[in-house]
Amino acid sequence: MPEEQNDRQGESRHSFFARQQLINSAKSAFQLLAAVLKNSTLYPVSHPFVLASADKFLLKIKELLVDRKEVPFYLVGGELFFEKDSVPVDESLTMLMELFTGREIGGIIFRPGLTTDEITAFADLMNKNNAVFGAESGANELLPRSSQITHIVLHRVLVVDKKIGSVIKEGKKRAAEVFMDAIETMKEMMEAQQLDKKVNMRKMNTTVQTMVDNILENRDTYIGLTNLKMYDEYTFAHSVNTSLLASALGTFLRFEKPQVAALGLAGLLHDMGKASVPHEIINKPGKLTDAEWEVLKRHPVEGALLLADTPGVTKMAMVAAFEHHQHGERGYPVIGVRQHLFSQIISLADAYDAITAARVYYSIQTPPDQAIRILWKKRGTSFNPVLVKAFVNMMGIFPVGTVLKLNTGEVGLVMHQTRDLMRPRVLLLTRFDGSEKEKGAEVSLLEGAGGKFKRSIAGTIDPYVSRIDLKKYLT
Ligand SMILES: [Fe+2]
Ligand SMILES: [Fe+2]
């Protein structure tokens, strides 16, 4: 492995929690700004309430300025970004975001030297008529020069869209590399196992660490990659997908990093027992006979035994391999025993990938939104209802990779979730006619025009029926 890559991994490992903290800090800065603006609509800007809230906001900005030259927020398609990270937004922030986008502001940057007076003057200006902002055209500074606000810079929406767009593209490229590397590692590992050779656990752990490090930054991109079912490499891809989905859920549930990594490893190894099931059974296109089914059903036990013999494998991975089919009425190998929480997560991730992939257990391939509905119905019976709820909140009702029919007649491929599960960000494909699609613009269904949403979901399209090449868009 090149040294540069090693460095990058070390760096990103180190920054896992730092980044999470940073995103929280940025969010609270934005909340404090919202408070300043709200107070300044209720009181004159010289009122102690307004000044106190401006001071608090200034303090937070100064804190963020300690290790950066400026504090930039961007608003892209109804979402809030701090630097290149998406900031989770709740209702308390949507008003402020709408206030900005309503004034064509796509970026707001705070620079060193910012004062309380500038903040209150800015708040005052924001509460005034829209016209103030539209007046100064051409430059990316939207603030009138007369305002004497010099440490706050506003950018127009268009400029910002371009900037964030290139960051997203870069992250996607890296994600695809990490994903393909993981599949290669998995392939090597299973082949070594079949040849009775030693398994390189060090490499497995490195693979998991790299995935986990990247998931936090780019969760939707990785979830998108799980749509590429890769039939030639199915078993390996299924293990990587299960690992990605399980660790993504771990980050969503705010588990600590060692736990997320443990989930990632357990996901990769959950089907290791399949290495001892004959190929003809694994790849049989039709229904299995009772005898074949009995052989296949041994894979959790085989897997646990195999992992018990492999040095460096965690107990958790062993338990999850043993328990991952131990749910629902027809669970095996043991019924009526409660699964470990981690096994429950692996089961959910495993089921989602199996349903959307349609191999032995399901006869047709199921689009992601239908898979979500199937899991939702099984909450409380097959799966822990709390986990199913979290999974749906993470994946969305229309997960990344779902093809949507929009009320404008356009076709959109879901690329990212937003704060509204019914309004994801989509890539517009040319009008749906069943032929190859051109890559269009990426838009958020949260985008509004004249008090209404520009686009809404009118239905879904089965990507397998319409033969949309998901790989072209999701990597
Ligand atoms: Fe399995
Ligand atoms: Fe599986």
Ligand nearest to the CA of 324: 1
The DSSP letter of residue 383 is B
Give the span between the Cα atoms of 20 and 226, in whole angstroms. Answer: 24
Ligand minimally distant from the alpha carbon of residue 323: 1
Determine the Cα–Cα distance for residues 128 and 35; give it in Å rounded to an integer: 17
Place of tokens 């509004």: 448
Sequence ranges of the domains in the chain: 3-150, 171-395, 403-474
pLDDT at residue number 194: 76
- Beta-strand runs (E) in 111-268: 152-156
**Residue 199 to residue 192: CA distance in whole angstroms:** 6
240 alpha carbon – ligand 2 mean position (Å): 10
DSSP states of 191-202? HHHHTTPPP-HH
User: Which amino acid belongs to residue 472?
Assistant: K
List the beta bridge partners of residue 413.
Answer: 403, 427
Distance (angstroms) between ligand 1 centre and the Cα of 350 equals 7
Residue 455 burial (CB < 10 Å; 0-12/13-18/19+)?
Answer: buried
Residue 101 Cα to ligand 1 midpoint, Å, equals 48
Ligand 2 center to 415 CA (angstroms): 25
CA 63 to ligand 1 centroid distance, Å: 48
Rounded Cα distance, 452 and 454, in Å:
6
Output phi, psi for 404, to 5 deg. Answer: -110, 145
What does the alpha-carbon distance between residue 457 and residue 470 come to, in Å, rounded to a whole number?
Answer: 19
Ligand closest in space to the Cα of 304:
1
* 304: amino acid identity, one letter: A
Across the strands, what pairs with 76?
79
Mean residue pLDDT across the chain: 83
What confidence score (pLDDT) does residue 433 get? 42
State the Cα–Cα distance between residues 185 and 156, nearest whole angstrom.
45
Q: Tell me, what's the pLDDT at 162?
A: 64
User: Alpha-carbon distance 409 to 426, whole Å?
Assistant: 14
Q: How far apart are CA 72 and CA 81, in angstroms?
A: 8
Report in angstroms the alpha-carbon separations of 295 from 35, 324, 421: 63, 16, 41
Q: How far is the CA of 348 from the centre of ligand 2 (A)?
A: 10
The CA 26 to ligand 1 mean position distance, Å, reads: 41
Task: Record the tokens describing residue 54, joined without a space.
Answer: 């401006």
Q: What's phi and psi for 250, nearest 5 deg?
A: -60, -45
Find residue 425's DSSP bridge partners.
416, 444
Q: Which residues have C-beta within 8 Å of that of residue 122, sequence separation ≥ 6?
A: 143, 147, 149, 152
- 452-453 and 439-444 as β-strands: parallel, antiparallel, unpaired? unpaired
pLDDT at 250: 94
CA of 349 to the centre of ligand 1 (A): 11
SS3 content of the chain, % helix, strand, coil (to 5): 55, 10, 30
Prior bond to 333 cis, omega within 30? yes
Q: Cα(272) to centroid of ligand 2, in Å?
A: 9
Cα–Cα distance for residue pair 308/302, rounded to 1 Å: 10
What is the distance between the alpha carbons of residues 195 and 72, in angstroms, rounded to a whole number?
Answer: 54
- Asked whether 340 and 320 are in contact (CB, 8 A), the reply is yes
Task: Evaluate whether 463 touches 367 at the Cβ level (below 8 Å).
Answer: yes
Using CA atoms, how far apart are residues 50 and 43, in angstroms rounded to an integer? 7
Q: What secondary structure does DSSP assign to 436-465, as a single string?
A: PPPEEEEEETT-EETTEES--EEEEE-HHH
Which ligand has an atom closest to residue 242 CA? 2
3-state secondary structure of 411: strand
3-class secondary structure, 471: helix
Q: Which positions of the chain have pLDDT values less than 50? A: 1-14, 131, 135-140, 360-362, 431-437
Helices 116-126 and 3-42 pack at an angle, to 10 degrees, of 70
Which helix H or strand E contains 352, and what residues bound it?
A: helix 341-357
Measured in residues, the chain has a length of 475
The CATH class that applies to domain 171-395 reads mainly alpha
State residue 59's pLDDT score. 96
In whole angstroms, how large is the CA radius of gyration of the chain?
A: 25
